[in-house]
Amino acid sequence: MSDANSDGNSVIEINVGGVFYSASKETLTKEADSLLGEIFSGRQQVPRDAKGRYFIDRDGVLFRYVLDYLRNKSLILPESFKEKERLRQEALYYNLPHMVEAITNYSEGGGTPARSKGCITVGYRGSFQFGRDGLADVKFRKISRILVCGRVTLCRDVFGETLNESRDPDHGLTERYTSRFFLKHSFIEQAFDNLFEQGFKMVGSCGSGTAGSAAELKPGVDSEENRWNHYNEFVFVRD
């Protein structure tokens, strides 16, 4: 585990309200007079969690934008971002006055970036289920996973914290495309809502039939459910 007193190129692991981050000491101490600058230069102590990570008892999701600001020295928020006041409170807590000013200007319309153009493909593999013995609580549509393909920065802006990047082998690189993202939920309409709120329009779709597979079923796979397996893809564009 890297220590706050080690060199500026070291990687430091942080637990912010139960959300884990990794960042260089150089990034965390970029604003020397900030709370983070004091903590990771060794001038102020914070507790550690069970894994030895530095623990900060604040909003873990919003800390993402604090880190982005320190890395880029500019504030860029998703178009549908609705927590500017909460983020402002986080910036005040971390003693980042320039970030506070940027958030204030942003909320007044002075910093809203133009929407970037792009294409995102959303796909899902699913099946239909039917009640047995008169059970009424069956979920008639079963979606095992929702896949997301497109430019990494665009996908992150649209889906935010619902985007799961754990299967992406190039995790951390941003200026590229990927077909390895999926969502942390299984509600296709929620994914569509995210896209529509960000100004995307669906321009095409395709899907397979429900003939099932002739291959031998794996243990525990229901043969009736397997008959109704299908795969669909939807293409969204913002211009």
Q: Using the predicted structure, report yes or no on whether residue 56 has a pLDDT greater than 60.
A: yes
Please report where in the chains the tokens 């600001």 appear, as a residue.
69
> Which has the closest alpha carbon to 17: 69, 90, 77, 101?
90
What pLDDT score does 117 carry?
Answer: 87
Q: Please give the pLDDT value at position 94.
A: 96
**pTM of the shown model:** 0.50
Residue 130 domain-assigned (yes or no): yes
State pLDDT tens for residues 86-139: 999 999 999 999 999 888 877 555 454 557 789 999 999 888 776 555 555 556
The answer, yes or no, to whether residue 40 has pLDDT greater than 90, is: yes
pLDDT, tens digit (0-9, with 9 covering 90-100), for 221-237: 566 667 788 899 999 99
Same domain, 72 and 180: no
DSSP classification of residue 10: -
pLDDT of the residue at 5:
57
Last-in-domain residue among 65, 82, 107: 107
pLDDT score at 38: 95
The SS3 of residue 231 is strand
Annotate 100-114 with b (16+ C-beta within 10 A) or e (fewer).
bebbeebeeeebeee
Residue 140 and residue 94 in one domain: no
Residue 5 lies in a domain: no
Domain range for residue 206? 118-238
Does the residue 219 lie in any domain? yes
